[in-house]
Chains A and B, each alone.
Chain A
Amino acid sequence: MRKGDVIVLEHLPAAVAYAAGGGRRELDGPLGSAFDIAERDTRFGQKTWEMAESELARRTLETAFGKVPHDIGTPDVVFAGDLQCQCTASGYAMRSEDVPFAGLYGACSTMAESAALAACLVDGGFAACAAAMASSHFCAAERQFRTPLGYGAKRTPTAQWTVTGAGAVVLASGRGPRVRAVQFGRVRDLGVFDASNMGAAMAPAAAETLVRYFDATGETPDAFDAVYTGDLGAVGSNLLGSLLELEGVRLQNHRDCGLEIYGRTAPGSGASGAGCSAAVLCGHILPMLARGEMRRVLFLATGALMSQTTSLQGESIPGVAHLVEFCSEEAMACS
């Protein structure tokens, strides 16, 4: 059923299995103990940073597959994406999996995008079981989009740090936290040009998606234990608050994956990268819902849709934010 942009699911597919992976810096953060793949060597036994990310994604996905209850069987499709050129981390990770694969690019919004698509397919009966994954690697991102790792540069205070991490979730009918609704975001661009201030570029898209969600469903922010945004960082989170206030929405239970993953040790404005919200969702949010520590959560992953080329050509940065509403099994029973 559709309410505005919101797709309200009928059968509430369950997150029957999920896994998160991270590198050294992520393991040292406050969520470190929650990761399934915990390796301090960020090369993950590979020769290049690109293959390291791919290996991290592959291990994370296989760990999630391994947790799927036997009566559910293997996934009918995997939606996955990453930040590398031509989505190679996911594509190469899927070489060793004999499962249909659809590659996605949504920058740092990929985890919500892939989970939303997987949920729709399962809910519509087009797949009995579908998986969603996103990954990123600090070194692969730096060398592709910024500067060589050995280049001496001081980061600006608005810059965000790309997470070395991955998260994978398997959706099917079964036991686990439920997906109640999903919403694909509209692209918004309020004229931010600074590629080292992506939180500011993405905040308008996040505000747009949230305002439309609350309008369409009649829900209020208080109905949720938390509203998680995926990687606005400190600067973007501030701006989201200001934008929502102008729209008459007070968001008091807001948390940002980019601030959760490194806690107080966050460099610059916080973390970013497709793997950031993915790892926080699969290593923190879903386990909390499964344990009943939270009942209802909005998960909103934001992406900045520029490239190095468009930045150099002087274009401003468009943002997008996709939303997935999760609830615990108990909360589902009440509704």
Chain B
Amino acid sequence: MKTTKEEYAVLCKQALPHSPVAKDCAWAFCVGGAICALGQILLDAYGALGFEKADAGTLTSATLVALSAVATALGWYQKLASKAGAGTLVPITGFANAVVSPAIEFKREGLITGTGAKMFTIAGPVIVYGMLASTVWGVARHFLWG
């Protein structure tokens, strides 16, 4: 065959179907916005119950995580995500889904060697690089403004 890698790259680019960006974004906006609005309702409710701001925030996160876990266990979160894309990925419910789904999936490989070992296969990097960044910022803060 005579076609070179460069020529094929051009062919591939032409053949690439485009994502329906407008539709994808509309879904992401509505579903992502709705999850955040639910968070706001929870935040206000915990505030009204007398929790201070930081605790209300933590309780809101925990509640959203629990709701996401239930939806994941029932197979609903994946179905919603197949339409909502980043709308279900970016909120904290997406983080919970990334923890809960491997925990369920790899149960057959054992509670320790499956669920325990693989729970953070997807979400692990988020924690690793989040913590690294916060440590760097903490050190910088100490020496620059300390």
Contact = CB atoms under 8 A, between A and B. Distances in A.
Contact of A149 (B11, B80, B85, B105): B105
Interface in B24-40: 24
Chain B interface SS verdict (over half): helix
Contacts of A148: 101-102, 104-106, 122
Given A48-B108, A147-B101, A190-B3, A152 B89 contact: yes
Contacts of B19: 156-157
Given A238-B15, A242-B11, A247 B101 contact: no
B53 interface: no
A239 B10 CA distance: 11
B49 interface: no
Interface residues of B, number: 40
Contacts of B85: 154
Contact of A154 (B8, B84, B100): B84
A190 B82 contact: no
A150 B101 contact: yes
A47 B108 contact: yes
B5 interface: yes
Interface stretch (B56-64, B71-79, B126-134, B138-146): B71-79
B101 A151 contact: yes
A235 B3 contact: no
A143 B114 CA distance: 12
Contacts of A200: 12, 15
A191 interface: yes
Give the residue among B3, B7, B15, B94 with the most A Cβ atoms within 10 A: B15
15 contacts: A147-B101, A149-B78, A149-B101, A151-B78, A151-B81, A151-B102, A151-B122, A152-B84, A152-B97, A153-B78, A154-B84, A234-B17, A239-B12, A242-B11, A246-B7
